[in-house]
Structure 1
Amino acid sequence: MIQPSKTAIITGASKGIGAAIAQRLAQDGHAIVVNYSSDKAGANQTVEAIKKGGGQAIAVHSDVAAPSGMTQLFDAAEQEFGPVCTLVNNAGIMRLGPLGTSSDADFDAQIAINIGGVFRGMREAANRLEDGGAIVSMSSSVVGLYQPSYGIYAATKAAVEAMTHVLAKELGPRGITVNAVAPGPVETEFFLAGKPGGVVEAIKKMNPFGRLGTPEDIAAAVAILAGPDGRWINGQTLRANGGVI
């Protein structure tokens, strides 16, 4: 085991925002545990990109919706790199539709990953994270916009923000910061799937900058909260959305 000065676990880091966060925190000196549930090839690509940049990383398969998922991630991180100082709860899914026609399966899946995965990550981190560490969870700027078809997804992200504020108070005595980042529309496969070009252009116009965010924009916000410049930011939700709301 090569023990680095600091280790970070990023859930759902095989592509998109998660991969960008993994690469940015690696640049900032973290050894990275790249979690994936299905996209092994993408996770390996993220690991290789980190290693090419001189960093340390491993890919670990784990389902964060499962009761043992986060325990497996922390076990793998500690075995490879030593104690964990940073957890980024990034894994999530989004299934859109009017509340009146949404299925139980759509509801259950989003609850299991978006809330359950974050809860289990927070619980494991509360017991195993190094003192002085950081927990960053991904919310969404749809909390506050309350757009039609986003009802279940927005509800799960509101729960993430509530748990963030509570856990920040519980872990404060150990010097562990707990925050959330709430991206606006970001140009990823996750966001663009199923959206016609005209819809995407209309969404761009909602932003004062007239563009979508990039995964690197969100990774930069996470890096602040996970780094030394974010030690006085605690129990907050940072709306990284370019001014949408």
Structure 2
Amino acid sequence: MSGKSQIRLDGKVALITGAGRGLGSGLAKTLAERGAAVCINYASSAKPALATVAEIEKAGGKAVAIQANISKVPEITKLFEEAIKHFGKLDIVINNAGMEAFSKPEDVTEELYDQVFGLNTRAQFFVGQHALKYLSDGGRIIFMSSIAARLGVPNHALYAGSKSAVEGFARSFAADGGPRRITANAIAPGGIKTDMFAQNAWHYSPGATKDTPIEVIEAGIAKLIPLGRCAVPDDIAKVVIFLCHPDSEWINGKSAPQSAVVLGNSQLTNNLFQHLGQIITLTGGSGIA
């Protein structure tokens, strides 16, 4: 945590759902590095959340871990109240918690549908609802969508639908927050190197199976990216930080795709067309983030 960044969030307080590990943990660390006090929400795994808090505090930042199952509205209320109690206010709410699911449409059960939409969609709505109530004037709401919401991926209709709704939330919450200068935007990440990336990336890679080494899959993805590497949480965090800064006020109700892939006429991209029907490489959003 270098502390050399130009964009600062000093004096701001951020609440991040699903921040005990993966992308959420990376967001928490980077926001703390830029000066924000961070409330790290986790559902059940306290150990990684507390480890993230310890790392932030060791670097001189401020953070607290707060347990809450955000699929339950009363626990969302408790989460916001504890965050306010600890730091006195809230300036930023990042709706990061989510899950990914792969299933043929004909195999989706009511239980799986309710589970995916319960966390990816319903929970994001009610966290956003609470954000409008608890945020200070001029606050920021960030929803977590996915590139998958815009692209046709086999066996991914359930996840894509759950994330498509989130982009509608961002547009409408932007209108509702206007009188208090609260902005709302969505981030739609591509593949990000986290534990969930390692678990799910093979679904997007032509010819890959569960047993394909992640290093092989990652190398294939990197060939599609001019920068020659896959994204890491800090890449997404830098976009989030800008959207949370006062200078971003005129960016409102937008969904920002976050993938460095450039699509060109190559054998590799042609193979991906054949594999998926269109180019998606590993633009899988928060589920593989």
TM-score, normalization: structure 2? 0.79
Residue in structure 2 matched with residue 216 of structure 1 by the alignment: 234
Q: Tell me the SS of whatever aligns to 1:193.
A: helix
Q: How does 1:1-245 map to 2 (within 5 A)?
A: 5-194=11-200, 195=202, 196-197=212-213, 198-243=216-261
Unaligned ranges ≥5, structure 2: 1-9, 203-211, 264-289
Question: How many equivalent pairs are there?
Answer: 242
Indicate if the aligned counterparts of 1:139 and 1:161 stay in contact, CA closer than 8 A: yes
Deviations along 1:31-72, one digit per CA (max 9) or x if unpaired, are 111000122110001101110111111101100101212211
Please tell me the residue identity of whatever aligns with 1:35.
Answer: N
Indicate if the aligned counterparts of 1:37 and 1:62 stay in contact, CA closer than 8 A: yes
For residues 151 and 230 of structure 2, what CA distance do their matches in structure 1 show?
16
| Structure 1 runs (4+) greater than 6 angstroms displaced | none
Q: Displacement of 1:208 after TM fit?
A: 4.0
Q: Displacement of 1:199 after TM fit?
A: 4.5
Taking a change above 3 Å as real, the CA distance of residues 244 and 149 of structure 1, as seen in their structure-2 partners, is: farther
For residues 68 and 148 of structure 1, what CA distance do their matches in structure 2 show?
36
Q: Tell me the SS of whatever aligns to 2:65.
A: strand
Please tell me the residue identity of whatever aligns with 1:93.
Answer: M
For residues 240 and 117 of structure 1, what CA distance do their matches in structure 2 show?
22
Unaligned ranges ≥5, structure 1: none
Q: Tell me the SS of whatever aligns to 1:239.
A: strand
CA RMSD of aligned residues (A): 1.6
Indicate if the aligned counterparts of 2:150 and 2:164 stay in contact, CA closer than 8 A: no
For residues 75 and 228 of structure 2, what CA distance do their matches in structure 1 show?
39
For residues 154 and 200 of structure 1, what CA distance do their matches in structure 2 show?
22
For residues 37 and 244 of structure 1, what CA distance do their matches in structure 2 show?
36
Q: Displacement of 1:243 after TM fit?
A: 3.2
Please tell me the residue identity of whatever aligns with 1:120.
Answer: F
Deviations along 1:186-218, one digit per CA (max 9) or x if unpaired, are 111112215333554444444444432111111
Taking a change above 3 Å as real, the CA distance of residues 204 and 31 of structure 1, as seen in their structure-2 partners, is: same
Deviates more, 1:222-231 or 1:233-242: 222-231
For residues 143 and 28 of structure 1, what CA distance do their matches in structure 2 show?
30
TM-score, normalization: structure 1? 0.93
For residues 72 and 63 of structure 1, what CA distance do their matches in structure 2 show?
10
For residues 98 and 211 of structure 1, what CA distance do their matches in structure 2 show?
31
For residues 100 and 26 of structure 1, what CA distance do their matches in structure 2 show?
44
Deviations along 1:166-204, one digit per CA (max 9) or x if unpaired, are 110111121111001110011111122153335544444
Please tell me the residue identity of whatever aligns with 1:227.
Answer: H
Indicate if the aligned counterparts of 2:170 and 2:253 stay in contact, CA closer than 8 A: yes
For residues 149 and 197 of structure 2, what CA distance do their matches in structure 1 show?
16
Indicate if the aligned counterparts of 1:184 and 1:244 stay in contact, CA closer than 8 A: no
Please tell me the residue identity of whatever aligns with 2:245.
Answer: G
Identical residues among aligned pairs (%): 36
